Amino acid sequence: MRFGRVFSAFLIGAAGFLAQTVSAASYSLVPSEGTRVSGSDRSVTISAPSPLSMPLDVKVKHTKDGKVSGYELSRPARIGVQSEFANYLDGGPWEQTRMQLVRSLGEKSLEFVILERPILIEAVNSGAIDMAVTDAGNFIQFEMTGQLIGLSSLWPVSASDPSYADGILFVKRAQSKEIRRLGDIRNRRIAADYPTSFGGWLIALREFQKHGLNTDVILDNVRFYGTDPANILRSLQQEKVDLAVLPTCTFESLAKRGVIDENDFAFVDVNETEYSVCRHSGELYPSFIISMLSGTDSLLSRTVMTSLQQMTGASTGVDWGPVASVRTVHDLYYALKVGPYEHLQAFRLSTFIREQSAGVTITLGVVFLVLFYAGSLSVLVRRRTALLNRALEDRKRIEAEAAASRDHIAHLERTGIVGQMSTMIAHELKQPLGAITNFANGLLRRLKRGAIDPKVFSEALEEIVMQGTRASEIVNRVRSYAKQQQPVLELTDMQEIVCNAISTFERSRRSSAKIEADLQPFLWADIDAWEIELAILNLLKNAADSVEGLSDAKILVRVRAEDRYWRVEVIDNGPKITQEEVDRFMMPLVTSKAGGLGLGLSICSNIAERHHGHISGYANPDGGVTIAMDIPRAALPEHTAM
């Protein structure tokens, strides 16, 4: 809706302003076509010039000694001048530009026609002119179609670059207190020159848009007063409007010529930048551009371009420089959806129509949903039933796998404990049983020789009783100090062993904790795979017991290189404990679980030692414990992760 009204106002205002300017006293209207302009005359042609009679050829004239003396044109080169440039800064820049071109090409070689914007557009489209002087907004419409090729951009001495030569200034009455910033102009009256003016209105409209103002309301409250800026400020002084829009540097020019009293006015949202010495509100853009129609003689275009860039702005305050970038002008027209981007309004209009027909859309949608539901209900029921049956089968399978994994773990634990206890008994009982046997054999030999000293007999029996007591103590302690013979070691990738242990533990469903793995391939080591898996399962079980009951329970299994070892770390996020507590339950026969035997970490420690490694524990700063088991790495020349 917003841009539809922008477009409507754009066309209606252009038509109204054309009628207004035709009758304005500031112009001397000459109804003839192709009016030639000379001197300070600024006549406006009210219709498009007649088509050009013949192609324009340019020849270079030389003196007898071969020097260039001038140019000979097959006919006068016709230059269409946008009327806004003819009135820019009271016509001074236009007159200086005209005289500069006359000095370079001669009075008879040039024909200037001042045209209103719609007529200039018609002249370019019909090929009735050779060159054109237009504002940047008008130029981009023909540049996009390849009809105009830029030669030079107007460069006011007040601007640091031709790309920052044009802008707008928001002016209010000096005594006005209601408008302090641009956002305060909602529902207030605004004065500008005319609706298609790039530097006098479209730049301002873009600033309103960027400040989040409703452009529909803005367009309802704007009044256009023509290209005479004095009329705009006069309407502001007479309180017909609340805010005036002027092109950049226009206010300073009027004040310098004494047309207005600078103290009667104040400004809104003035920007202080290094790009322009004139006051301005918002962004700056390129100003007027002189261009040639495609197909115009290149020698003429080079001559015009060279002549203009030799012009100095000492008297009028403007020069001509290289063609400025018009990217910012494209951005402005694109945002407003006018000029070469008018076609984008069709999408906005269709969107608006669709929004107004929401009731119909909803009704059709409801009917479609009802029909779709009725037609697909039976299919959905069959699909859901099949999914439910599949879920039940999967559940039974997972439960069976979990039970099998629990049995496997229990078997591994029992086998490991029994094996270690057997080895420990065989190792620890060897000494006391040997001592008992020796004393018993000694007593038998004494008895065979005859009488035995009662004192010696008593001492031998006491020693046998003491060694028997020691053997009994060893049996009571061996459950936590079980130790097997050296295992059979084979070169194995520990990544597979760790993954198998994690998979077995997860299938056992002993814990709901989330298990994460940080592994890498080629973790080669000489190990007994069965014992390493048993150790990791014990560490996982201890970690699961530590995080039991936590809503965010998590266990991380990580393997990394540490010196000449692979360090297998099992990290949990259980309750926060001290390092002293960790050191205590790392001791044999010590457990933190009620009714526990303390065998888990003892088994892991024994397995690590049997592999020439060791086990250690650390309290995590944020809670939980890290149990690390170091296993020597296999010495391989390659394929070994680091």
Mean pLDDT of all residues in the chain? Answer: 81
CA distances from 77 to 3, 301, 426, 522, 634 (A): 40, 11, 119, 83, 91
Rounded to whole angstroms, the Cα distance separating 210 from 192 reads 18
Q: Residue 365 is encoded by which pair of tokens?
A: 């949608």
pLDDT score recorded for residue 24? 32
Instruction: Say which residue, 420 or 104, is predicted with more confidence.
Output: 104
Dihedral through CA 218, CA 223, CA 226, CA 229, nearest 10?
A: -80
Quick count: other Cβ atoms within 10 Å of Cβ 592?
A: 15
Q: How long is the chain? A: 642
- Of 18, 240, 144, the closest CA to residue 10 belongs to 18
Instruction: Please tell me whether residue 163 adopts helix, strand or coil conformation.
Output: helix
The dotted CATH code for 383-477 is 1.10.287
Residue type present at position 318: V
Q: Residue 8 is encoded by which pair of tokens?
A: 């409507």
Rounded to whole angstroms, the Cα distance separating 80 from 45 reads 10
Among the listed ranges 24-38, 104-118, 263-277, 297-311, which one has the minimum average pLDDT value? 24-38
* Residues 128/252, Cβ–Cβ less than 8 Å: no
pLDDT score recorded for residue 88? 86
Q: Give the H/E segment covering residue 560.
A: strand 554-562
| 166-285 matches 31-159+286-325 in CATH topology | yes
Instruction: Say which residue, 418 or 67, is predicted with more confidence.
Output: 67
pLDDT score recorded for residue 511? 76
* Residues 311/190, Cβ–Cβ less than 8 Å: no
Among the listed ranges 366-370, 425-429, 569-573, which one has the minimum average pLDDT value? 425-429
Residues in Cβ contact with 347 at an 8 Å cutoff, skipping those fewer than 6 apart: none
Q: How close are the terminal C-alpha atoms of the chain, in Å? A: 65
Among the listed ranges 86-90, 104-108, 344-348, 397-401, which one has the minimum average pLDDT value? 344-348
Among the listed ranges 13-17, 77-81, 600-604, which one has the minimum average pLDDT value? 13-17
pLDDT score recorded for residue 19? 36
Fold of 166-285: D-Maltodextrin-Binding Protein; domain 2 (3.40.190)
pLDDT higher than threshold 80 for residue 471: no
Instruction: Please tell me whether residue 310 adopts helix, strand or coil conformation.
Output: coil
Quick one: pLDDT band at residue 7, thresholds 50, 70, 90?
very low
Quick count: other Cβ atoms within 10 Å of Cβ 110?
A: 22
Q: What is the mean pLDDT of residues 29-46?
A: 38
- Of 528, 591, 541, the closest CA to residue 570 belongs to 541
CA distances from 605 to 422, 614, 633 (A): 17, 6, 18
- The DSSP annotation for 575-633 comes to ----HHHHHHHTSTT--SSTT--SHHHHHHHHHHHHTT-EEEEEE-TTSSEEEEEEEEP
Quick one: pLDDT band at residue 2, thresholds 50, 70, 90?
very low
Quick count: other Cβ atoms within 10 Å of Cβ 430?
A: 12
pLDDT higher than threshold 80 for residue 474: no
Q: Is 443 exposed, middle or buried (0-12, 13-18, 19+ CB in 10 A)?
A: middle
Q: Is 366 exposed, middle or buried (0-12, 13-18, 19+ CB in 10 A)?
A: exposed
Q: What is the mean pLDDT of residues 512-536?
A: 89
Rounded to whole angstroms, the Cα distance separating 569 from 631 reads 11
Question: Structural domain boundaries of the chain?
Answer: 31-159+286-325, 166-285, 383-477, 490-632
pLDDT score recorded for residue 610? 85
Dihedral through CA 307, CA 312, CA 315, CA 319, nearest 10?
A: 80
pLDDT score recorded for residue 312? 81
Q: Residue 322 is encoded by which pair of tokens?
A: 């290289």
Residues in Cβ contact with 402 at an 8 Å cutoff, skipping those fewer than 6 apart: 507, 508, 509
Rounded to whole angstroms, the Cα distance separating 123 from 130 reads 10
CA distances from 153 to 5, 117, 320, 419, 488 (A): 32, 18, 6, 95, 89
Beta bridge partners of residue 435, listed in sequence order: none
Secondary-structure class of domain 490-632 per CATH = alpha beta
* Residues 120/132, Cβ–Cβ less than 8 Å: yes
Residue type present at position 176: S
Rounded to whole angstroms, the Cα distance separating 238 from 226 reads 17
Residue 203 sits at φ, ψ, to 5 deg, of -60, -40
Q: Which CATH architecture has domain 31-159+286-325?
A: 3-Layer(aba) Sandwich (3.40)
Residues 154-182 have pLDDT tens digits of: 999 889 999 999 999 999 999 998 898 99
Report the side by side order of strands in the sheet with 77-82.
110-115, 77-82, 131-134, 289-293, 148-156, 318-321
Residue 26 sits at φ, ψ, to 5 deg, of -75, -10
Residues in Cβ contact with 229 at an 8 Å cutoff, skipping those fewer than 6 apart: 193, 246, 247, 250, 251, 254
pLDDT higher than threshold 80 for residue 621: yes
CA distances from 175 to 170, 234, 242, 254, 381 (A): 15, 15, 11, 20, 76
Q: Residue 607 is encoded by which pair of tokens?
A: 């397995």
Residues 67-93 have pLDDT tens digits of: 666 677 888 899 999 998 998 888 889
Q: Residue 416 is encoded by which pair of tokens?
A: 């490991």
- The DSSP annotation for 97-130 comes to HHHHHHHHH-GGGEEEEEE-HHHHHHHHHHT--S
Rounded to whole angstroms, the Cα distance separating 398 from 482 reads 35
Half-sphere exposure of 324 (CA within 13 A, CB side): 31
